[in-house]
Chains A and B, each alone.
Chain A
Amino acid sequence: MAQFVEKTGRTVEEAIAEALEELNADMDKVEVEVLEEGNKGIFGLIGSKPAKVRVTLKNTAAEAGKKFINEIIEKMNVDATVEVEETEDTLMFRIEGNDIGILIGRRGETLDAIQYLTSLVVNKGREEYMKVVVDIENYRKKREQTLINLANRLAERVVRYKKPITLEPMNPYERRIIHSSLQNNKFVETYSIGDEPNRKVVIALKA
């Protein structure tokens, strides 16, 4: 996704200056690769060759997020690494390592805190909002499957005993998984009650 331009000029400096202008960036926001040193030639005439550079805009959002997560990991003395994947409007950070349950916490509480703070750091001073997802060894995917299984199991129980069931408090993201996994169920309906952060999903028989 990195944005870059290639420019030629009489000297390397000139080529870089032109590239910076086109990218509308400062020197500290870019990486410069000299493709051709250029050669003034004899008397600037014979054998002169233009300099050529490739100037790449550093991906500051992804870098800032990675740096932030790395600092947390390091200061918590956790042995882990971060990889970042970027799509058009989302940054996906994946943490892998040893003994990283501590970074997940009870029901993903710590992981959600890391994700929220990273999103603030990444979007600080940005005009376009980047969605940030932080995942640890596929915790999010596994949790999603657990919640879908739970929803289906509880829905069966609601039908069997004809009594509504209230789930434990969940964050908006997890509640949405429950709602959407049961939205096509013919026998039950779902809704939420209570206020954040204690909002809960209720599974009830369809009226």
Chain B
Amino acid sequence: MKELLESIAKALVDYPEEVEVKEIEGEKSLILELKVSKEDTGKVIGKQGRIARAIRVLMKAAAVKENKRVVVEII
């Protein structure tokens, strides 16, 4: 899950080396904290959060396979 989010974020931003994902695992849910360079924030959020929404949809699909609830936080 962590690697998937990392790959997606790295492909979207201008500074892939600054992409960081932190994983906080609970019993039923998984929180992924995505951190990117300040200049890249817009590249993972998008107008009216459109990019962030697409990322979350994709992460949710991946989580179904692992039987978990996933929360993606962009910080």
Chain A residues in the interface with B (C-beta under 8 A) = 68, 71-72, 75-77, 102-103, 105, 109-110, 112-114, 116-117, 120-121, 124
Contact = CB atoms under 8 A, between A and B. Distances in A.
Contacts, number: 52
A114 B55 CA distance: 9
A117 B12 contact: yes
A114 B12 contact: no
Contacts of A121: 11-12
Nearest to B1: A75
Contact of A76 (B11, B54, B55, B61): B61
Contact of A72 (B8, B53, B60, B64): B8
A117 B8 contact: yes
Main secondary structure of the interface of B (DSSP, over half): helix
B12 A76 contact: no
Interface residues of B, number: 18
A114 B65 contact: no
Contact of A113 (B3, B7, B54, B64): B54
A116 B11 CA distance: 13
A75 B11 contact: no
Contacts of B62: 75-76
Nearest to A104: B61
Given A71-B7, A116-B50, A77 B12 contact: no
Contacts of B57: 105, 109-110, 112-113
Contacts of A110: 57-58, 60-61
B54 A124 contact: no
A102 B61 contact: yes
A94 to B, nearest CB: 18
B12 A124 contact: yes
